Amino acid sequence: MIDVALLGIIRRWHLRDQVPLREIAKRLGISRNTVRRYLRSEATEPAYAERQSASAIDPYAFQLSGWLKTEAAKSRKQRRSLKQLHEDLSELGFKGSYDRVAAFARQWREGQTEWGNSARKRT
């Protein structure tokens, strides 16, 4: 991603130092068309669409969030660990790593605390 400082470098090299577009592209390791587009634009900060890519855990997200909700209601000693949940998902055909399950659980917990905090504010 090109940041504002890099955009300033491109403009300085081209306008003040008279460096050709091809040379700027080669120095920065980006496309000539990208260099040309940013020189023509009046933008001071480039904007990119957020990348949306499917995760390996997406087909199992509903199942895993249900399990996490069930486990959250249990006492700490009775809960299954994330490793056990990962093994259970693997038996269902999940090919992803434990890290994906742990990241999903972390994100799910953050969402639960945010939802709980917003519910308290409403009452």
| Virtual torsion, Cα 17, 25, 53, 102, nearest 10 deg | -70
Q: What are phi and psi of 28, to 5 degrees?
A: -90, -15
How much is the pLDDT for 40?
85
State the pTM of this model. 0.53
The count of C-alpha atoms lying within 13 angstroms of the C-alpha of 86, restricted to the half-sphere facing its C-beta, is 15
Q: Exposed, middle or buried: residue 24 (CB in 10 Å: 0-12, 13-18, 19+)?
A: buried
Tens of pLDDT along 28-78? 888 999 888 888 876 666 566 777 778 888 898 899 999 999 998 999 899
The angle that helices 61-73 and 98-122 make with each other, rounded to 10 degrees, is 60
User: What residue ranges do the domains of the chain occupy?
Assistant: 4-40, 58-121
